[in-house]
Amino acid sequence: MLDQIRTVLSHTTHPGNVGATARALKVMGLSQLALVNPKDYPSAEATRRASRATDILANATIHDNLDSAIADCQLVVGTSARTRTLPSKLISPRELAEEIKTTPDRVPVAILFGTENSGLTNEELHKCHYHVCIPTNPEYSSLNLGSAVQLIAYEMRLALSEEAVLPEQRVVDSEQHITHEQLSGLLQHFDKVMQLTGYKIPKHAKYLDLRLERLLCKAEVTTSEYNILRGFLSSVEKYSERLSSGVLEKIEQSQK
Ligand code: SAH
């Protein structure tokens, strides 16, 4: 579905913004770019700002009027921070994604972006089915062109990409979560050590076991974390043994 989306830049004045747009699109998996009367283009600055997305620039189509850039599109939307006197229906980027989902496969959809200084003209906006506004600070609402493209492309990816949103995390064996039996063993071990050190006085410890169990459940303890906790508890037991045998020796010596 992302291949259906055509980003149309109208009358860009800074070629760097064309490069930034190519990069923004490629990062989000969009590919179609159409340029209407771009100033100073092609340009080394555009290529530089595109970074490794120069294929998007190479495949971009260049038009001398907007009608030719959107001729085959069934859905055309215009982006603008400003509301107009004769408004088209105003929607958010998320609502736009829902709208795109209802268009037939492979039919191009155009998203128009205006020139840097003055944005889309009223004439350009009237060619659009919807006016898409990125919610921003009402007192300072206009984004840089490349940033506006990036945000729209991101929203399209979130809503329309068939791939998982995040790459799957590789779970290594040691990162498996512990079993219920291991959790019970761990709780018993805590109980033993807490009594040994005098931390737990059974008649005052009404909620201690429950809270500890809840904590360890929330923590979703992994095998390696379990091994750390068990190892630590065993070391406390051993330390306590050494301590008490030392103390006993001293008591014995003092009694001689
Ligand atoms: N000074 C212009 C803004 C141009 S910014 C004006 O007042 O309209 C360049 C382009 O970025 C705009 O034409 C629009 O396509 C896009 N853009 C910037 N901020 C936006 C926003 N908040 N919502 C939607 N599109 C925005």
pLDDT tens digits for 153-205? 999 999 999 775 676 665 555 578 999 999 999 999 999 999 999 999 888 78
Q: CB under 8 Å, gap of 24 or more: what pairs does 192-196 form?
A: 192/233, 192/237, 193/233, 193/236, 193/237, 196/236, 196/237, 196/240
Report domain extents, the chain. 2-160, 173-255
Helix (H, G, I), strand (E, B) or coil at 236: helix
From the CA of 119, give the closest atom in ligand 1.
13
Question: What is the spatial distance between Cα 50 and Cα 142, in angstroms, rounded to a whole number?
Answer: 22
CATH architecture of 173-255: Orthogonal Bundle (1.10)
pLDDT band at residue 229, thresholds of 50, 70 and 90?
very high
Ligand 1 close to Cβ of residue 116 (< 6 A): yes
The share of the chain scoring above pLDDT 70, in percent, equals: 95
The confidence band for 46, taking pLDDT boundaries of 50, 70 and 90, is: very high
Task: Tell me the C-alpha to C-alpha distance, in Å, between residue 196 and each of 240, 243, 244, 247.
Answer: 8, 12, 11, 15
The residue whose CB lies within 8 Å of the most ligand 1 atoms, and thus the one to mutate among 9, 17, 80, 132, is 80
Which position has the token pair 């149309």? 8
| Structure confidence at residue 165 (pLDDT) | 66
- Identity of the residue numbered 18: V
Mean pLDDT within 217-240:
94
Residue 191 · residue 231 · CB < 8 Å: no
Ligand 1 centroid to residue 100 C-alpha, Å:
21
What does the pLDDT read at residue 169? 62
Evaluate: CB of 118 within 6 angstroms of ligand 1: yes
- CATH tag, 2-160: 3.40.1280.10
* Continuous H helices in the chain: 15-27, 44-50, 54-59, 66-70, 93-101, 122-125, 145-160, 180-196, 208-218, 223-255
**pLDDT at position 254:** 75
**pTM, entire model:** 0.76
